[in-house]
Structure 1
Amino acid sequence: MIDKLEMFIAVATEGHFGRAAESLGISQPTLSSGIKQLEDQLGVRLIRRGSRYGGLTAEGEVALVRARQIVADTRSLREEMRHSREGLKGRMKIAVIPTALTCAADLVTRFSERHPEVTFTILSRTSDEILRMLDNLEIDAGLSYLDNEPLGRTRTERLYRESYMLVCAQGSDLGTRDKVGWADLDGRDLGLLTTDMQNRRIIDRNLREAGAAPLVSVESSSLIVLAAKAARGGCMTVLPREVAAFLAAGNGLATVPIEGGQPGHLVGIVAPRAEPHPPMIRALLDETRRMALEETTPGLPKVRRAHPVS
């Protein structure tokens, strides 16, 4: 029945039979047959359908919650059994907010040194998408904001607190300063992340509270686009400290700390709430704790990251 439940979850997630079949790597007739068999076994109709997908029935909505839990528990059991036989191995899929991608690279590099038989798929997604993907069992964990918007039923592990840098061409008048305030960006030409990004909402709030009204001439979901545009002198951008340093290195960009505004938000691992967690998630949470601890304990070797958790 597990394969049928996975088909049901895929249809509910995609809202389309063809896309659901494609995501599972099966034909649409196989998918439709599997859903019909599941409905026969449960004795209820789960999906409204005529010539196309019409949403879940009331019974389908209830079944979806249970289906996700059953599939998650089954996957966890399989991983536990494989771990007991073969040790920690497999592939972990993690979705990451764009501003934390360099941190994700550090974390998985550290993880791989301890567990070389685990491989990774790293996806760049918004914080909202990360929560949706966790709910739909599309990813194993996320790296996202922890304290700015509701996270639902999840387990979290803090990693660092964001702080912000102005990133601009080295010849810019602000690029020569030791620090700037949010109010200094009033009337300036900025390139920022798109408004669906939580980072953009944080920056907009700091600008608004400082009474600054910059000209946002470029919006992009790509940090590389923003940094490249700033390097060419077309605008400035605001990025978290670590990713700003990474993108500025050797690219003719200056980075200047921005002081004031709201305290930076916490960023860390978000995982489904489960007891016990699958072995790979337990190991990921352990590595996250070690990484955060090294930033806050004198004498321990430091990793390249943003501001430590406070």
Structure 2
Amino acid sequence: MIAKLEMFIALAREQHFGRAAVSLGITQPTLSTGIRQLEEQLGVKLVQRGSRFGGLTPEGQRALVWARQIVGDTRRLRDEMRASREGLAGHLRLAVIPTALTWASTLAARFNDRHPRVTFTVLSRASADILTMLDDLEIDAGISYLDNEPLGRVTTRPLYREAYQLVCREDHPLADRETLDWAELGSLKLCLLTPEMQNRRIINRQFMEAGLEAGAAIESNSTVVLVSNVLTGDWVTILPTDLAGFLAEGKPLSLVPLASDSRAHEVGLIAPWQEPYTPVLQALLDEAQRLARPA
């Protein structure tokens, strides 16, 4: 039953039999058979079928909620029993907003130092994708904004408040400034994160409040691309302080603080709300709390 529920969750996530089968490492006929057997066991039709996947039935939508809960509880039970038998061990999957990747690396490294039998996969994702991945059981936790857009029912551990810096070449006219107001940035050649990133929406709002439009001639979902572009000439970008310092280290770049915002947004660890937490997830929450920068 658990294996079939996992097939059902994967199909609901991928919205395609072939992609769902690939994500599970099984053949498409095996997936189709598993879904049909699940429907027979539950006595309802879960999936609209035609020449291709046609969505979930109303019963399928309700079953999906139960499937996620049952599979999640089963995984937590398995982790709990393994920890009692073997100590803290396993694998943690994190999805992280691009601007917090340096914090994710620090958190994973510190956690692994304490618990060397726990390994990590760290993925860069937009904040909305992180919430979806938590719901779909694709990840165990994420790092995202805590106080800017709705998160739903999750557990949080604050890590830091985000402040911004202008990143420009050392020979840029603004490179020697001690600080800059957002209103001074309107005429600059900007390269910024893509609009689906929450960081970009925050920056757009800062520009709007300064009476400007955050027009970027170059957009990317990679901060490495943004900094590489700045190195090529008179382009500038805007990044959180910690990430800007990391990406600019050893390069002919200057970092100019932008006027502080009393509403600076909080970034932290998010995990599915659950009681009790598995030993590994509880240890991760504890490590995030130790790592947190004082407000």
Identify whether the pair has TM-score above 0.5, normalized to the shorter chain. Answer: yes
Q: Secondary structure at the match of 2:216?
A: strand
Once the two structures are TM-superposed, the CA of residue 212 in structure 1 deviates from its matched residue by: 2.9
Match for 1:50: what amino acid?
G
1:209-265 alpha-carbon deviations (Å, 9 max, x no partner): 112345422101110111011122241000000000001111111001101446221
Match for 1:208: what amino acid?
M
Within a 5 Å distance, the mapping from 1:79-158 to structure 2 comes to 79-158=79-158
Q: Secondary structure at the match of 1:200?
A: helix
Match for 2:272: what amino acid?
P
Structure 2 partner of 1:250: 250
Match for 2:144: what amino acid?
S
TM-score normalised per structure 1: 0.93
Distance 1:214 1:134, change over 3 A: closer
Structure 2 partner of 1:277: 277
Distance 1:212 1:261, change over 3 A: farther
Within a 5 Å distance, the mapping from 1:23-62 to structure 2 comes to 23-62=23-62
* Residue 12 (structure 1) aligned with residue 12 (structure 2): yes
Tell me, which stretches of 5 or more residues in structure 2 are unaligned? none
Q: Secondary structure at the match of 2:131?
A: helix
How many residues are paired up? 295
Whole-angstrom CA distance in 2 between matches of 1:213 and 1:282: 43
Whole-angstrom CA distance in 1 between matches of 2:214 and 2:88: 50
Conserved 8 A contact 2:168-2:234: no
Whole-angstrom CA distance in 1 between matches of 2:33 and 2:272: 30
1:63-119 alpha-carbon deviations (Å, 9 max, x no partner): 000000000000000000000011111111100000000110011111011000111
Conserved 8 A contact 2:163-2:260: no
Structure 1 partner of 2:179: 179
Q: Secondary structure at the match of 2:142?
A: strand
Q: Considering only aligned residues, what root-mean-square deviation do their CA atoms show, in Å? A: 1.0
Tell me, which stretches of 5 or more residues in structure 1 are unaligned? 297-309
1:9-31 alpha-carbon deviations (Å, 9 max, x no partner): 00000000000000000111111
Whole-angstrom CA distance in 2 between matches of 1:260 and 1:124: 26
Q: Secondary structure at the match of 1:251?
A: coil
TM-score normalised per structure 2: 0.98
Quote the sequence identity (%).
Answer: 59
Q: Secondary structure at the match of 1:133?
A: helix
Whole-angstrom CA distance in 1 between matches of 2:54 and 2:21: 16
- What stretches of structure 1 move > 4 A for 4+ residues in a row? none
Match for 1:181: what amino acid?
D
Match for 2:152: what amino acid?
G
Whole-angstrom CA distance in 1 between matches of 2:277 and 2:215: 46
Structure 1 partner of 2:224: 224
Match for 2:4: what amino acid?
K
Whole-angstrom CA distance in 2 between matches of 1:169 and 1:93: 36
